[in-house]
Amino acid sequence: MFDRLEAAEAHYRELEELLGQPGLASNPTRLREISVELAALRPTVESYRAWSTLKCEIGASGDLLKDADPGIRELARAEIEEQTEQLAAAELELRRLLVPKDPNDDKNIVLEIRAGAGGDEAALFAADLFRVYARYAETCRFKLELLQTSETAAGGFKEVSAAVSGKGVFARLKYESGVHRVQRVPATESQGRVHTSTVTVAVLPEAEEVELKIDEARELRIDTFRSSGPGGQHVNTTDSAIRITHLPTGLVVSCQDEKSQHKNKARAMKILRARLYEQELRRAQESRAAERRGQIGTGDRSERIRTYNYAQNRVTDHRIGFTLHKLDRVLEGDLDELIEQARNYYQAEALLAEDES
């Protein structure tokens, strides 16, 4: 590990020297490449330098253990104890920084939530869960754009899709994919019995056109139809709704939320691209046996990842064995602790896989 860190620091110094060359300003492309590479290396190099400084400080404190003054020796022992703890934490951070970064971490996402088992109650919880993510997005200053909805008469969602954009969106939300189970007494339950329902969440990294080529003329069938609306003056009297079928895979995406056929098509294409890109990721990841569990596409979507128990004000993440008795706060969009626990767990697994490789 430390050979890699020394090599990274040496390369960082080389890049700094290149950045200082007078003629570099006349080559903006090369200037940008060097600046980007320096920015990527900086956290690792700065952490390594901090670790090296701590190592030297522990050595200096060790020399004081030989001092004739007992008070100095006692102070040195206390310093060494504190510095050793700091060194262990710094080494853990270094190991995390050396884990290869997920290339999708900086991507925007398409978030899809679907009601599963439980009928109306599942659809109502799908709506609740969507509000949780919308509030979390607002807290993180992410932009959330509703793409497609399928509502129920009770006010729930059979399905809802949204585009979420911002710095590190996929890195924050990628561990939310899977089946979420809710245990609560439905509002329509007269005898107070607890019902169990499920909702499926998919977090799909958004694909750029350069990453995913679609031959619209050969690969897509695009059908238009009249949107179904709430009636009255809002009835859509034009065929603005869009249904896109990707012929090679059979994937079908429909969108009818906008009155403009063009906007519906753009939204449907965004969802289709994300789903196709996820399929490609899944295919690539499944071919690598050492890929860590829990990433998009590597796990079975039918696997239950989390339970929300209203009576006990409890949320349990079954993948990592973590329970939080703050369901009321989670429902207000406070997901940070759940997300951090999942991220730490999978980072530790990735570190272990890195050590074994």
Mean pLDDT, the chain, integer: 84
Q: Does domain 109-210+285-356 have CATH number 3.30.70.1660?
A: yes
Q: Does domain 2-98 have CATH number 1.25.40?
A: no
**Higher pLDDT residue, 235 or 324?**
324
The pLDDT of residue 154: 87
Predicted confidence (pLDDT) at residue 19 exceeds the cutoff of 90:
no
Q: Tell me the C-alpha distance between 234 and 112, whole Å.
A: 26
**pLDDT tens per residue across span 234-264:** 444 557 888 999 999 989 998 887 778 888 8
Q: Tell me the C-alpha distance between 350 and 98, whole Å.
A: 10
Rounded to two decimals, the pTM is 0.67
| Residue 253 CB-density burial (10 A; 0-12 exposed, 13-18 middle, 19+ buried) | buried
Q: How much of the chain, in percent, has pLDDT values that exceed 70?
A: 88
* Boundaries of every domain in the chain: 2-98, 109-210+285-356
In this prediction, residue 148 has a pLDDT band, given cuts at 50, 70 and 90, of confident
Q: Tell me the C-alpha distance between 165 and 337, whole Å.
A: 21
Residue 253's region, left for phi above 0, alpha for psi from -120 to 50, else beta, is beta
Pair 164, 108: CB distance under 8 Å: yes
CA 354 to chain centre: 21
From 163, 149, 164, 148, select the one nearest 265 (Cα to Cα): 148
266 CB-near residues (< 8 Å, 6+ apart)? none
In this prediction, residue 286 has a pLDDT band, given cuts at 50, 70 and 90, of low
The pLDDT of residue 191: 76
